[in-house]
Structure 1
Amino acid sequence: MTDAKIIETARLLLHPLTVDQARRVVDGVPGAGERWGEGYPGDGDVRSARGFLVGVAERGDPGAYRPYAIRLLADGSTVGGIGFHGPPDADGVVTVGYGLVPGARGRGYASEALRGLIARAREAGVTAVRGDADLDNVASQRVMEAAGMAYEGEDEVVRHYRLVLED
């Protein structure tokens, strides 16, 4: 299994959540020296941290395929989360999710973070990345498009996106 490591982009650090950090996210209490942006953690961050904790308890450490805190490189504040919903399936495909606090939206951080996570997936040998967004969540749809993911279709609830990773 590929180890988790910090992913650095031009303006962000994607910091892999540890079990202790995930517990703090669930409890809503930052650790010593952690800076959380206003509104962090959001509901999605808490759900992701809970799922991570359950997965670790049931299957062990997921290596690279975990949630990551999105931190601003400039000041280290956590402004959201991004990550894999689990390890790759039998075909090598992973599903991703992300979210930002309201004050960090509209600055390109989500697309930048997603491009960083996709690069990490490629490095880990993933064959494709998929994601989805609610039909009315145009901003999230644009994030996936800006990161190179292609629209694949929709159902009555979400639009589906995918990026096939070439060697």
Structure 2
Amino acid sequence: MDDLVTERLLLHPLSLVEAERVAAGEPEDGDRWAPGYPADGDMVGARRYLTTCAITGDPRPFGAYEIRLREDGRAIGGLGFHGAPDEDLGVTIGYGLIPSAHGRGYASEAVRALLGFARARGITSVQGDTDHDNTASQRVMAAVGMRLVAQDERLKYYRIDFERADDRRAG
């Protein structure tokens, strides 16, 4: 599968071998990781992807992606799907960047690209969540069109719904 390309980023689909290296935090020669990558969230995401592959098979293209800078190919974070679409063609996503990449619009750019990718493949809804005190992530989800749909004592839950192609034709 090819990288997803945005103006400033490459969203690189992780292979199982790459995911194992990210999960362990152990690069090999040729890996271009920015200082601080992978962060804890990147390692958790890679482990989730590996667990999904072991239990239900590889969900690609609905797997894990590494966020890389186009200018030099360095990995600065990760994002991806928490597994294959559900029976209603909904998916859940997660994302994160190393601290040195915060505040530059990279998260919004990456999530916007992932939403477009999902929509182009017939996904009807995308969900995500964040801690109450993670206002940066809340701003990202709002900026890409996701809306707050629920919250509990720990998390705020966001969602965006897409029209199905057959729904657009019926109107």
Pick the TM interval, shorter chain.
over 0.9
Structure 2 residue runs of 5 or longer lacking an equivalent are 166-171
Choose 1 or 2 for highest CA Rg. Answer: 2
C-alpha distance in 2 between matches for 1:23 and 1:159 = 30
1:47-92, Cα deviation, whole Å (9 max, x unpaired): 1111211221222221211110000001100000000011111111
Whether 2:116 is the aligned partner of 1:119: answer: yes
The code of the aligned residue for 1:132 comes to D
Aligned residue pair count: 164
Q: What residue in structure 2 maps to residue 21 of structure 1? A: 18
C-alpha distance in 1 between matches for 2:24 and 2:60 = 23
Whether 2:65 is the aligned partner of 1:64: answer: no
Equivalent pair of 1:26/1:50 in contact (CA under 8 Å): yes
Percent identity of the aligned residues? Answer: 52
C-alpha distance in 2 between matches for 1:142 and 1:31 = 35
How many angstroms does 1:165 deviate by?
1.2
Whether 2:47 is the aligned partner of 1:50: answer: yes
TM-score by length of 2: 0.92
Equivalent pair of 1:5/1:64 in contact (CA under 8 Å): no
C-alpha distance in 2 between matches for 1:114 and 1:31 = 27
TM-score by length of 1: 0.94
The code of the aligned residue for 2:2 comes to K
4+ residue segments displaced more than 6 Å:
none
